[in-house]
Amino acid sequence: MKFESLFLGFYMMLSRIFFFVFKMVLVVVCSLLFSAQVQSAENHLSDLWELLKAKEYKEPSNDEMKWATQLFHQAMDKNSQSINNKAAIASDLFIEELVDGTLSKLLIIRETAQKLNGRGLFVMRPDGNGILLQAPHGYMDVYTGKLVSQMMQEQNYSALSVNSVPRRYKKNKKWVNADMAHLTSTYFYLWSQIFAEKFPSGQIIQLHGFNNKNRSTTKNVDMILSNGTQFVDVPLLKQAQCLKNWLGESRVLVYPREIKILGATSNSIGSLLRDKKFTDFKHYEMSLDLRKRLVNESESRKILTNCITMSA
């Protein structure tokens, strides 16, 4: 009986080891297959982002958030020599590198192909300009997800975060909230927090979309700029003037000085950053026509980047 118990225990241990190894191999194989899909699309971040689209959002567990915290710190640490793959696996994330059009190395952190929980796409450029680009509603604010992906790959931005699930969807006939600009227990929120810690003098820019045809006050407006507060600062005014010079004085408005709506005052990322004394958060609302123009015209994207970086 003692021998049988030992044999059974040994068998159970081997079974667990085999299952763990099989799971790790499966993750790697599926991720490589997924990467091959992206390679065929010339490594465009926007194509990768489209492939990551999830149907539902699954909030990370406390343990997953702890591992993701370690992973994100390493990704943003210029002195880090390596990334902890254990942290990536434990947080259900996959790491890969890409050389972009500027010949910079991009570190990409994303979900694996066989396990899409809508937790987002995150990209880091170690030698970037200290600016984090965000699109928390990349799908529903049409073109914003593609736009920030293009800008990240073409220009010298330090970091990117894009949502990978619709901001709201129906499940069992009930609406589910997956709004990355208002939830807090998310990788999107965590990425913003760690960026603010690593780049205290940096800038975070959120791109959103609004329907300018819905209100008479916005009928001829292409952009509404704010910093998430009731107070206008000098960097915001500099960016606004640059954009006014490009699009037209009356087509770019600043909240709350020139318009009283869409000021991002309830934005969870903005609130987090203010609590951390991070002062350079910008919120851009853009009309559909402008978004469409930006994704189709590389020169327009360069102008937008020039206006963003002039106050950085």
Q: 63-98: per-residue pLDDT in tens? A: 999 999 999 999 999 776 567 788 999 999 999 988
Distance CA 106, CA 202 (A): 18
Domain spans of the chain, in order of start = 41-309
Roughly how many angstroms between the first and final C-alpha of the chain, as a whole number?
A: 73
3-state secondary structure of 172: coil
Q: Is the peptide bond before 60 cis (omega within 30 degrees of 0)?
A: no
Strand 159-162 and strand 131-135: the pairing is parallel
Q: Is 58 helix (H, G, I), strand (E, B) or coil?
A: coil
Q: Which CATH number fits domain 41-309: 3.40.630, 3.10.450, 1.10.10, 2.60.40?
A: 3.40.630
pLDDT tens digits along 232-284: 999 999 999 999 999 999 999 999 999 999 999 999 999 999 999 999 999 99
Q: CA-CA distance, 256 to 231, in Å (whole number)?
A: 7
What is the model's pLDDT at position 16?
A: 62
Separation CA 50–CA 46 (nearest Å): 6
Higher pLDDT among residues 201 and 214, named by residue = 201
The candidate with the shortest Cα–Cα distance to 128, out of 69, 195, 192, 189, is: 195
Residue count (the chain): 312
Both tokens of 230, joined, read 């009731």
Structure confidence by residue, pLDDT tens digits, 130-156: 999 999 999 999 999 999 999 999 999
Read off the pLDDT band of 105 (50, 70, 90): confident
What per-residue confidence (pLDDT) applies to 35?
46
pTM for the whole structure: 0.85
Return the number of other C-beta atoms located less than 10 Å from residue 90's C-beta. 16
